[in-house]
Chain A
């Protein structure tokens, strides 16, 4: 179930009357205005919308990287809009896997060490950690590149290592911000295959920000971010409910 009218209840991600403003000197930028969203576990959501419409902002709020100006963010039953600093960091480590456009691997660490990073925040012993890292790297098909440094990997391989890092602690929610934005079609498709699998086979709740309708087609629901709120539409930009045709 996915709702944008604020009427759902008990969803794994529940956003209510979310406002996000940025201030640039005197200027006030209203990025999100009264946004509502309910997403049940296991859904695969694609966020689309023009550049600057607030997709990254919305993802950051769901992932607890940022806090709203007004409204509430409830994820996995925790009201994270009320948390801050250290508590929020610990919450992220337990609940969220992030996948970025630029992969964000630590250049001085090997693929193995990069993937292991989130496990260092758990109480797992060395052998346990190794098992988890190997499983995650195996899942993304990178077992043979374990001891390579990021600069020794192709873009697609880097992103696969980043996905392994995002899933190594087995979080329920994956937040992907244009994960194929820097890749060619073939490499991008491989990444999307992996993300689809994580949704279908592993039951992850996936949020995917993309400009690519082909990528959005992988999602079970496509949401369009416009004027600070969400509208449900098809992958190629047709509104599902409502009459206004969305310009793309």
Chain B
């Protein structure tokens, strides 16, 4: 058995002032690390939750996203007749042929304009996305310049409340409803009739950019996809909606994550130096204790382990403080540019258990790196010399 960790625990408590800098540096680093990952996670989760596992999305074959895609009305009809497509009670296929564009509206927070994604949908859209619910007002009427807006929109932009009228694309629009899309990216969108949107923007009326299909069941996807891709009239790419949105979130969430790693790495260098400093001074201050332990027969391995354990204890305290400090960010809402649609997207930070665990592992890593050289020095202290220094 080795030197009891109680020795290290009590030593840390005994000299807590000298460990404070190391604890705070590690706490700060872990805190930033956790918050950045929570941000990336939140962004990703917001987009991913836009996709339902029971939905499929189709865009033109080879298109990178909705913005660069085109699907004709005839093709939409073929898609709607494909096997596996769910139908409403009245027997209509649950299919939404959609177009997207971007409008600029002033942010309430800063007054400057931000891009908003405007989505033209089929009247059947609420059946295709049953998780989306009108919470205020009513659904838009087909053929009219009416808008329904996601629940983040009225609180984020000026002039987009229920009952407001706005002008864009050469048309006058009235906000007739507010919908709740369960925290997904749709909550930051404006929805209207796809044909009306095409008319107002003077686009060909029968060309859409994507088709979202409600499937009879999650298992129906393969059957549906096989049928659609085999059809010679169609050249489309078919995705599960969830996978499609996960892919859309990848760029931004990766950027946030890489940025987070970079900042955390820079801070980690400082934290490791603080740990090194703390542990070197601990070794110096306790050199005669180390000499005594060696005289009693504790070998170099025991000494290294003991001081490494002490450094890791300090790091774990720092890590726990950092995680606790990051916890209040859970649910904190912010917005950023969604680079795949060039529009503003509101999302909330998500501090998940996995991220917290990652933060603790990160702190252990810093403790080990900062603790190893001093621990090796402790093990190498010449016992006769340090015993003379009593």
Contact = CB atoms under 8 A, between A and B. Distances in A.
Contacts of B7: 106, 108-109
Given A65-B384, A120-B1, A120-B4, 20 more contacts: A63-B295, A66-B384, A89-B298, A90-B297, A93-B296, A93-B297, A93-B298, A98-B295, A104-B288, A104-B295, A104-B390, A106-B289, A106-B293, A108-B14, A109-B6, A118-B296, A118-B297, A120-B3, A121-B298, A165-B296
A113 B291 CA distance: 17
* A85, A94, A100, A108: most-surrounded residue (chain B CB, <10 A): A108
Contacts of A86: 299-301
A60 interface: yes
Interface residues on A, range: 20 to 34
Interface of A: 56, 60, 63, 65-66, 85-86, 89-94, 98, 100-102, 104, 106-109, 113, 117-118, 120-121, 165
- By Cβ-Cβ distance, the 10 closest A-B pairs, closest first, are A93-B297, A108-B10, A89-B299, A86-B299, A104-B292, A102-B390, A120-B1, A92-B297, A66-B384, A98-B295
A148 to B, nearest CB: 14
Most buried by A among B288, B297, B388: B297
Interface residues on B, range: 20 to 34
B361 interface: no
A117 to B, nearest CB: 6
A121 B297 contact: yes
Given A100-B387, A104-B288, A85 B4 contact: no
Contacts of A90: 297, 299
A203 to B, nearest CB: 22
B10 to A, nearest CB: 4
Interface string B206-227: 0000000000000000000000
A118 B302 CA distance: 12
A83 to B, nearest CB: 12
Contacts of A63: 295
Contacts of B388: 56
A100 B4 CA distance: 22
A244 to B, nearest CB: 31
B6 A113 contact: yes
A108 B10 CA distance: 6
Contacts of A101: 390
B4 A113 contact: yes
Nearest to A182: B390
B333 interface: no
B301 to A, nearest CB: 7
Nearest to B289: A106
B376 interface: no
B334 to A, nearest CB: 46
B300 A89 contact: yes
Interface string B275-299: 0000000000000110111111111
B300 to A, nearest CB: 6
B297 A94 contact: yes
A60 B387 CA distance: 10
Nearest to B291: A104
B390 A92 contact: no
Contacts of B295: 63, 65, 92, 98, 104
Contacts of A94: 297
A120 B67 CA distance: 70
Nearest to A171: B297
